[in-house]
């Protein structure tokens, strides 16, 4: 969910040399192609439109060629929004899903502090964004995640928890 800490968790993996691909970057690239301004409204509508026109796994499908070109045994796909996206990746790759979970209040505060152009203008705006995310299936994806990392505390706590989960996931991969 927006503001949960996905980017911070991904940064831990990036420091280990694991390439990170971000779903939002794929949406922003399409917005650039269509010459759309990067507003919360435009990006949200585009996210829905792409999935409606090309299917729920569309964003991940666009990611596959990038992953195939990546160096290394592992990659991170930050910001999957649906089980269908993960299924799209599972057709070609071994996938482990890690959900980063934070309360609505913590996520709202973080989004406000971030100061990005797509930050919510208020609680109602935040709730609308959450509902849009929930509408594409993110709740099911979070519920079915292989691992969950809680993020209610400090950035260092999230980094530590992410490193711990990463160790477990990498150890399991080596033993399989």
Domain 6-166 class in CATH: alpha beta
Q: Where does residue 65 rank: exposed (0-12), middle (13-18), buried (19+ CB within 10 A)?
A: exposed
What's the pLDDT score for residue 58?
93
Q: Which residues contact 71 (CB under 8 A, 6 or more apart)?
A: 19
pTM: 0.86
The first and second tokens of residue 39, run together, are 């507003």
Q: Report whether 104 contacts 130 (CB < 8 A).
A: yes
For 71-100, the pLDDT digits (tens) are 778 899 999 999 999 999 999 898 999 999
For 34-67, the pLDDT digits (tens) are 999 988 889 989 999 999 999 999 999 999 999 9
Average pLDDT of the residues in 102-129: 90
Average pLDDT of the residues in 142-154: 96
């Amino acid at each position: 969910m927006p503001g949960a800490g996905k980017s911070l968790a991904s940064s831990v993996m990036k420091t280990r040399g694991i390439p990170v691909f971000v779903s939002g970057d794929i949406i922003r690239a399409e917005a650039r192609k269509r010459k759309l301004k990067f507003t919360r409204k435009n990006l949200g509508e585009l996210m829905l439109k792409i999935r409606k026109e090309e299917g729920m796994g569309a964003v991940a499908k666009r990611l596959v060629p990038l992953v195939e070109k990546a160096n290394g045994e592992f990659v991170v796909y930050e910001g999957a929004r649906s089980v269908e996206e993960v299924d799209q990746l599972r057709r070609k790759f071994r996938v482990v899903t890690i959900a980063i979970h934070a309360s609505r209040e913590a996520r709202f505060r973080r989004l406000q502090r971030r100061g990005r152009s797509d930050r919510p203008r208020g609680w109602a705006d935040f709730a609308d964004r959450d509902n849009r995310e929930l509408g594409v299936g993110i709740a099911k994806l979070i519920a079915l995640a292989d691992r969950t990392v809680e993020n209610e505390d400090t950035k260092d706590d999230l980094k530590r928890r992410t490193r711990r989960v990463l160790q477990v996931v990498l150890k399991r991969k080596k033993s399989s």
